[in-house]
């Protein structure tokens, strides 16, 4: 993190309330470079492991985690299902633990990819234990940020298990996950595209540079958005960007302690009932795809919402400048001066950092402490109070 960015954040935020979260957001450009280096150093090892596991007949790949960690899988599985011949699904640990017989099969070889910031949530540990108990031929990759966490300690590396620790700075100490989410998403994308690791390294460098610019240049825009009187927010995205929309909505909900009602949807799904949420105090945020076909549906919905009466607001975020979209948006930003044509999964990083900053600033505008928005302990950084019941298969 550059001194320039840190200085800007300290100048524009009340230090006692949001500096930890602000630092963790602004650390991400460095975190992504370090994440790439971690995967690059283990390239040969992970190639051998994945080639062996992916050769298993009828292999099922499960991405799992709870909350934000669960959205890692939601973000990357659309790309992986396009790239791999195996079935790839994202199933929250909270679903697996309560209904393991729906998702874990004794005779199906399974690669379980567990994502967790601390690795201390009861469901994370229980999911691994259930998978070991139920699945005869189980392989694991654990992506986590805390080497001392239960999940990391539970993972014995060998022929069937691999532990990949995120950079130290990715182990967010604030309430909301930021760098932990993006580092686990990036690790997942890189691991399943090792043949193009060098090329993807150049993309990571660009994403890092873009993020520095967003932190420096977009805070004024995002702060202006928070001054508008909205108490509902909807994030809309297609494919991989729907996973990003889910994570973005959770960031706003968490950081504002639920004072802002936050939800998400797809451009087509939004019309089927969820559009009922729109009133004069609704902000709609569109994550625009680089896929021309998907973008047509996003354009149609923006146009429809723009033409409807009311005081609702539209904020569109695009990879490249799109004047047609800009003309139908109350707020607008784009990432690259020239069209980069990155695949949507790589738009995740520069899009979500806008949502993180917006959530932080809205929290502060509501006089909430974003580093600990639930001081009464009603909601905790690591979930508490979950009793794991014995499972009899």
- Residues whose CB falls within 8 Å of the CB of residue 366, separated by 6 or more in sequence, listed in order: 256, 257, 259, 260
Q: List the one residue out of 122, 151, 171, 145 whose CA is nearest residue 384.
A: 122
Percent of the chain past pLDDT 90, that is, above it, reads 79
For the cut 90, the answer to whether the pLDDT of residue 18 exceeds it is no
At residue 112, the pLDDT reads 98
363 Cβ neighbours under 8 A, 6+ residues apart: 18, 255, 256, 257, 369, 370, 373
DSSP secondary structure letter of residue 169: G
| DSSP run (H or E) holding 265 | strand 261-265
CA-based nearest residue to 210, from 85, 353, 80: 353
- Here the tokens at position 277 are 């949420």
193-204 pLDDT per residue, tens:
999 999 999 999
| Average pLDDT across the chain, whole number | 91
On the question of pLDDT at 386 being above 90, the answer is no
* pLDDT for the residue numbered 370: 86
Residue boundaries of the structural domains of the chain: 3-203, 218-365
Angle between helices 28-41 and 15-26 (to 10 degrees): 40
- What is the reported pLDDT for 12? 59
| Predicted pLDDT of residue 339 | 75
* DSSP H or E segment with residue 283: strand 282-287
Fold assignment, 3-203: Rossmann fold (3.40.50)
Report whether pLDDT(366) > 80: yes
Average pLDDT over residues 336-344: 83
Pairing verdict, β 282-287 and 232-236:
parallel
Q: Is the pTM here over 0.85, yes or no?
A: yes
What is the Rg, in whole angstroms, of the alpha carbon atoms belonging to the chain?
A: 20
Cβ pair 68, 177 in contact under 8 A: yes
Q: What is the pLDDT of residue 211?
A: 95
Domain 218-365: state its class. alpha beta
Query: Is the confidence at residue 255, as pLDDT, over 50?
Result: yes
pLDDT, tens digit (0-9, with 9 covering 90-100), for 294-325: 999 999 999 999 999 999 999 999 999 999 99
């Amino acid at each position: 993190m550059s001194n320039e960015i840190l200085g800007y954040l300290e100048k524009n935020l009340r230090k006692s309330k949001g500096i930890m979260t602000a630092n963790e957001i602004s650390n991400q450009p460095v975190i992504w470079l370090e994440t790439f280096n971690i995967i690059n150093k283990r390239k040969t090892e992970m190639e051998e492991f994945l080639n062996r596991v992916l050769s298993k007949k009828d292999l099922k790949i499960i991405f799992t985690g709870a909350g934000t960690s669960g959205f890692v899988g939601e973000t990357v599985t659309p790309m992986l299902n396009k790239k791999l011949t195996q079935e790839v699904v994202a199933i929250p640990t909270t679903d697996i633990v309560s209904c393991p017989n729906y998702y874990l099969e004794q005779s199906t070889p399974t690669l379980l990819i567990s994502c967790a910031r601390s690795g201390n949530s009861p469901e994370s540990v229980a999911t691994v234990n259930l998978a070991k108990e139920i699945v005869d031929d189980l392989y694991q990759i654990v992506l986590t940020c805390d080497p001392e966490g239960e999940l990391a300690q539970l993972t014995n590396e060998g022929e069937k298990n691999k532990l990949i620790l995120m950079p130290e700075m990715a182990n967010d100490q604030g309430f909301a996950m930021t760098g932990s989410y993006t580092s686990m998403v990036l690790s997942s994308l890189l691991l399943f595209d090792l043949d193009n690791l060098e090329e993807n390294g150049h993309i990571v460098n660009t994403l890092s540079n873009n993020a520095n610019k967003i932190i420096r240049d977009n805070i004024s825009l995002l702060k202006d958005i928070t001054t508008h009187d909205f108490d509902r927010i909807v994030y809309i995205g297609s494919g991989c960007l729907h996973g990003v929309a889910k994570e973005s909505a959770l960031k706003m909900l968490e950081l504002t302690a639920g004072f802002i009602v936050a939800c998400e949807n797809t451009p087509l799904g939004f019309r089927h009932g969820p559009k009922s949420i729109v009133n004069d105090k609704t902000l709609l945020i569109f994550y625009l795809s680089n896929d021309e076909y998907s973008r047509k549906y996003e354009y149609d919905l923006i146009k429809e919402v723009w033409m409807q009466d009311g005081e609702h607001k539209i904020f569109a975020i695009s990879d490249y400048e799109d004047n047609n979209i800009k003309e139908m948006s109350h707020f607008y930003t784009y990432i690259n001066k020239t069209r980069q044509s990155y695949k949507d999964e790589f738009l995740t990083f520069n899009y979500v950092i806008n949502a993180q900053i917006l959530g932080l600033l809205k929290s502060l505008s509501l006089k909430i402490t974003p580093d600990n928005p639930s001081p009464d302990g009603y909601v905790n950084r690591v979930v508490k109070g979950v009793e794991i019941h014995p499972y009899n298969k």
